[in-house]
């Protein structure tokens, strides 16, 4: 399991340390001759190291020599994930596929928790909890994947003992093992048979670290085609005994039917021998099984109640005993067949020495003991003691992660099981397997939910989820699903989530929108606003002013929007080119006119309308209609209280041609007096110490006064 935090930060935040470091050796294959002078190691793209190897040339090395060693060699060493069994792409597929079952289970647990609080204070209100857990386990199992049959000929090969299927993964075997013991506790009455099925499917996984019955079958399959008389080969009977010991009846029966006595040319003179072989095959196919049903192609009789099974078992064993004491064995002249069949009967009758000789490791011996020595045991009663005895009879040569997990499960130690899940199969397994451990197990629930000071105040459950979320966050393709696990961590999940979202690149619009969607889903309004502010500032600084204003407006950042507005104010009263005017106009449009968001930008909108009217006057020529429209914009601008006083004079200076219009006065007496009053206010404002002079020519004010006086006189004469 992940190591505890070495120390807690002053703020109480958890500082995660990596899980137990294991020495990993990565071979470097180069073509350089010794001596090697030095190595340089650096990070390459993705999950790789770049290793530069430099050679040391001898002192008599000349420049014209051609030995193929110019100076060294550069190699890339890819770092494998775990044992290399699951590729990075496959891990991402599993990670994404397991999100939905995990989230659904958490939702159901919250719902049940709410119902429990409403149910008159009952300690546990979870009538369908085991069904939810069984569904969750089944969904996760399907995500990991099921071994598929490899396409073969339509005509069945009679010499084919094992079906050709894709090699199952150790992760799949581990999850199925957890499912057998924890997910569906309603099926514990046929636990022995479930273990038989598990071994039949995943014994090949154990073959990678130790000898197994599956590997014996594979080896024998290779030499079977070259055998003329299979019953004369000692390995034939050895493989049959091994398969029978672990309950693979269909393989045993199929191999018995390969016996030479079934051939038509030998049937007449080997009738007794064939009868004994067929009798044993028939009895094996009729073996009582304590299980609800059998898959197609499997042999045995199913019983769902212990009394019925006990009665059938005793009856079946009496037939075995009767056959074992039959006088037909004397007439069986083929020694290998007689000994082989009699050894099979000893296995069925539960002879411990025969079972030990037929199996290859303690797990197989354990399964054989459950089948033939303790067929009536149900559930986990005395299972660990039996496993210890089997380990003494068949000690393991090396420690296998799957075997270690089995020992932890049989020992009924949730802490050891979780530790083996984390150590052997990584953070994904530990995070998702915890849900199976705590169901209807008060000890495990207390262990995993108890807050620990040495872990920064978080529980073991939260710690493993945080570690797994960090693994997801470390890759660009999986960080999006990390929030599902972080939000399930009550103590520090939200803090880690904020750190994750702050670390994402805001320059990529897709990533930014994903961040905001995550904030919306988890109601992180403050974080969403901050991210939009960061995006706005980033785009503004990098010249994408439109994007910057858009995101700042979305964040309702009045401070920065007002600063941007102040920059736009600097263009008031100045000559702006057509291209610059379009950019300036677009920014004003983005800023909007709502004073509560943008600090009173109504002036800029009205000034924009005024400038557009002036542009139309210059583009269309001196038409009275366009000029009158510009005058209306001017008056609206000067009447508006949001127009800053420091811009009055520049605006009037821009309007000189309108005030002194050649075709007649465009401003009536009232409008002219309004503008004159504005000039009078400016004169009074000059007396204040904070007054700022406009950057205009010295005669600008006189020109404006003269134009207004002239327009006033013309307006009087025309009776305006």
Structural tokens at position 718: 């025309």
What's the pLDDT tens digit per position in 322-372?
A: 998 888 888 888 889 999 999 999 999 999 999 999 999 999 999 999 999
Q: In whole angstroms, give the CA distance from residue 279 to residue 332.
A: 13
What's the pLDDT tens digit per position in 106-141?
A: 888 888 777 666 655 544 445 456 788 889 999 999
Q: Residue range 224-253: average pLDDT?
A: 91
Highest mean pLDDT among 138-142, 223-227, 393-397: 138-142
pLDDT over 90, % of the chain: 30
Q: In whole angstroms, give the CA distance from residue 562 to residue 548.
A: 13
Q: In whole angstroms, give the CA distance from residue 169 to residue 85.
A: 7
pLDDT over 70, % of the chain: 80
In this prediction, residue 321 has a pLDDT band, given cuts at 50, 70 and 90, of very high
Q: Residue range 544-557: average pLDDT?
A: 86
pLDDT mean across residues, the chain: 80
Res 692 pLDDT > 80: no
**Whether 456 contacts 15, CB under 8 Å:** yes
What's the pLDDT tens digit per position in 466-511?
A: 999 998 988 888 999 999 999 998 888 899 999 999 988 888 888 8
Q: In whole angstroms, give the CA distance from residue 152 to residue 696.
A: 92
Report pLDDT for 608: 74
Q: Interhelix angle for 335-348 vs 362-372, to 10°?
A: 80
Q: Residue range 192-208: average pLDDT?
A: 90
What's the pLDDT tens digit per position in 40-80?
A: 777 665 556 777 777 766 555 454 444 444 467 777 666 55
- Name residues whose C-beta falls within 8 Å of residue 667's C-beta, 6 or more positions apart in sequence: 631, 635, 658, 659, 675, 711, 715, 720
Report pLDDT for 163: 79
Q: In whole angstroms, give the CA distance from residue 410 to residue 191.
A: 12
| Cα 2 to the center of its chain, rounded Å | 18
Q: Residue range 555-578: average pLDDT?
A: 69
Q: In whole angstroms, give the CA distance from residue 708 to residue 150.
A: 96
Residue 471's nearest CA partner among 110, 18, 161, 6 is 18
Q: Where are the domains of the chain?
A: 185-396, 557-719
Half-sphere exposure of 614 (CA within 13 A, CB side): 23
Report pLDDT for 369: 93
In this prediction, residue 147 has a pLDDT band, given cuts at 50, 70 and 90, of low
Report pLDDT for 47: 59
- Name residues whose C-beta falls within 8 Å of residue 184's C-beta, 6 or more positions apart in sequence: 130, 133, 134, 137
Let me know if 187 is exposed, middle or buried by CB neighbors in 10 A (0-12, 13-18, 19+): middle
In this prediction, residue 716 has a pLDDT band, given cuts at 50, 70 and 90, of confident
Report pLDDT for 116: 64
In this prediction, residue 569 has a pLDDT band, given cuts at 50, 70 and 90, of low
The residue with greater pLDDT, 287 or 84, is 287
Residue 3's nearest CA partner among 467, 586, 397 is 467
Rg (CA), the chain: 43
- Name residues whose C-beta falls within 8 Å of residue 300's C-beta, 6 or more positions apart in sequence: 249, 285, 286, 287, 288, 289, 294
């Amino acid at each position: 399991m992940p190591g505890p935090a070495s120390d807690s930060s002053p703020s109480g935040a958890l500082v995660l340390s990596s899980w137990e470091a294991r020495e990993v050796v990565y071979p470097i294959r180069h073509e350089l001759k010794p001596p090697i002078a030095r190595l340089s190691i650096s990070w390459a793209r993705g999950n790789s190291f770049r290793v530069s190897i430099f050679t040391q040339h001898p002192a008599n090395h000349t420049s014209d020599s051609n030995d193929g060693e110019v100076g060294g060699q550069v190699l890339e060493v890819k770092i494998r994930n775990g044992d290399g069994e699951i590729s990075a792409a496959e891990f991402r597929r599993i990670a994404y596929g397991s999100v939905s079952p995990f989230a659904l289970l958490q939702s159901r647990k919250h719902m049940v928790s709410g119902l429990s609080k409403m149910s008159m204070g009952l300690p546990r209100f979870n009538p369908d909890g085991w069904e939810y857990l069984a569904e969750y386990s089944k969904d996760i199992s399907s995500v990991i994947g099921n071994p598929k049959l490899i396409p073969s000929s339509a005509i069945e090969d009679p010499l084919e003992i094992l079906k050709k299927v894709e090699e199952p993964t150790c992760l799949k075997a581990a999850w199925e093992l957890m499912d057998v013991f924890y997910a569906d506790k309603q099926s514990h009455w046929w636990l022995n048979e479930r273990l038989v099925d598990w071994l039949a499917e995943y014994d090949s996984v154990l073959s990678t670290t130790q000898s197994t019955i599956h590997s014996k079958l594979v080896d024998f399959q290779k030499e079977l085609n070259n055998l003329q008389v299979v019953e004369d080969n000692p390995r034939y009977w050895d493989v049959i005994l091994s398969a029978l010991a672990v309950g693979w009846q269909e393989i045993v029966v199929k191999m018995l039917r390969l016996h030479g006595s079934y051939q038509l040319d030998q049937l007449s003179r080997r009738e007794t021998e064939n009868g004994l072989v067929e009798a044993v095959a028939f009895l094996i196919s009729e073996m009582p099984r304590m299980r609800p049903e059998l898959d197609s192609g499997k042999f045995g009789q199913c019983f769902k109640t212990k009394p019925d099974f006990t009665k059938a078992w005793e009856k079946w064993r009496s037939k075995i005993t009767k056959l074992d004491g039959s006088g037909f064995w004397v007439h069986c002249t083929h020694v290998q067949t007689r000994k082989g069949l009699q050894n099979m009967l000893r296995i069925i009758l539960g002879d411990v020495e025969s079972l030990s000789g037929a199996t290859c490791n303690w797990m197989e011996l354990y399964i054989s003991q459950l089948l033939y020595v303790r067929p009536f045991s149900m559930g986990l009663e005395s299972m660990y003691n039996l496993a210890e005895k089997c380990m003494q009879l068949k000690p393991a040569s090396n420690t296998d992660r799957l075997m270690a997990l089995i020992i932890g499960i049989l020992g009924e130690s949730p802490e050891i099981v979780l530790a083996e899940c984390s150590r052997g199969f990584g953070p994904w397994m530990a995070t998702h397997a915890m849900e199976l451990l705590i169901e209807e197990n008060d000890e495990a629930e207390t262990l995993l939910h108890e807050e620990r000071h040495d872990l920064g105040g978080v529980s073991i459950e939260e710690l493993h989820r945080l570690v797994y979320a960090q693994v997801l966050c470390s890759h660009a393709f999986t960080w999006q699903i990390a929030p599902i696990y972080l939000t399930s961590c009550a103590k520090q999940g939200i803090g880690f989530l904020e750190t994750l979202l702050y670390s994402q690149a805001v320059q990529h619009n897709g990533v930014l929108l994903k961040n905001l969607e995550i904030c919306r889903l988890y109601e992180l309004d403050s974080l969403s606003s901050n991210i939009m502010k960061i995006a706005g500032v980033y785009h503004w600084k990098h010249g994408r002013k439109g994007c910057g204003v858009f995101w700042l407006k979305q964040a309702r950042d009045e401070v920065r929007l007002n600063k941007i507005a102040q920059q736009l104010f600097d263009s008031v009263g100045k000559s702006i080119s057509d291209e610059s005017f379009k950019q300036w106009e677009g920014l004003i449009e983005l800023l909007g006119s709502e004073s509560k968001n943008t600090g009173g930008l109504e002036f800029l909108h009205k000034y924009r309308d005024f400038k557009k009217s002036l542009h139309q006057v210059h583009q269309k020529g001196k038409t009275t209609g366009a000029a009158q429209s510009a005058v209306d914009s001017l008056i609206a601008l000067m009447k508006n209280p949001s127009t800053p006083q420091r811009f009055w004079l520049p605006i009037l200076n821009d309007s000189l041609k309108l005030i002194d219009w050649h075709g007649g006065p465009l401003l009536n007496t009232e409008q002219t007096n309004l503008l004159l009053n504005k000039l009078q206010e400016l004169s009074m404002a000059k007396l204040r110490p904070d007054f700022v002079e406009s950057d205009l020519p010295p005669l600008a004010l006189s020109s404006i006064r003269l134009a207004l006086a002239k327009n006033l006189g013309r307006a009087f004469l025309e009776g305006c």
